[in-house]
Amino acid sequence: MKSTAFSLAIALLLSAAVLLSACGTQSVSPPPEQYSGKEWPINPVQRYTPAVYGDTVVWMDRSNVDGEKNVYGHDLTTHLEFAVCAASGTQQNPAIDGDIVVWEDNRNGNWDIYGYDMAAGKGFAICTAAADQSNVSIDGDIVVWEDMRDWATFKSDIYGYDLSAGVEFLVCDQRDEQRDPDVSGDIIIWQETRNGNNDIYSYNLSADYNVAEVPVSTNLSDQSQARISGDIVVWVDLRFGNPDILGYNRITEEALFICTHNATQRNPAIDGDIVVWEDDRNGNWDIYGYDLSTGTGFVVCDHVADQYNPAVAGDIVVWEDKRNGNDDIYGVRLSDLR
* Predicted local confidence at residue 209, as pLDDT: 85
**Model pTM?**
0.90
pLDDT, tens only, 153-177? 778 999 999 999 999 999 999 989 9
Nearest by Cα to 74 from 104, 118, 132:
118
Residue-by-residue DSSP string for 202-256: EEETTS-GGG-EEEEE--SS-EEEEEEETTEEEEEE-TTSS-EEEEEETTT--EE
- Return the amino acid letter for 113: I
pLDDT, tens only, 29-76? 444 445 556 899 986 678 999 999 999 999 999 877 677 899 999 999
Residue 19 in this model has a pLDDT that exceeds 50: no
pLDDT, tens only, 94-105? 999 999 999 999
Q: How confident is the model at residue 24 (pLDDT cuts 50, 70, 90)?
A: low
- Phi, psi values for residue 210, rounded to 5°: -70, -20
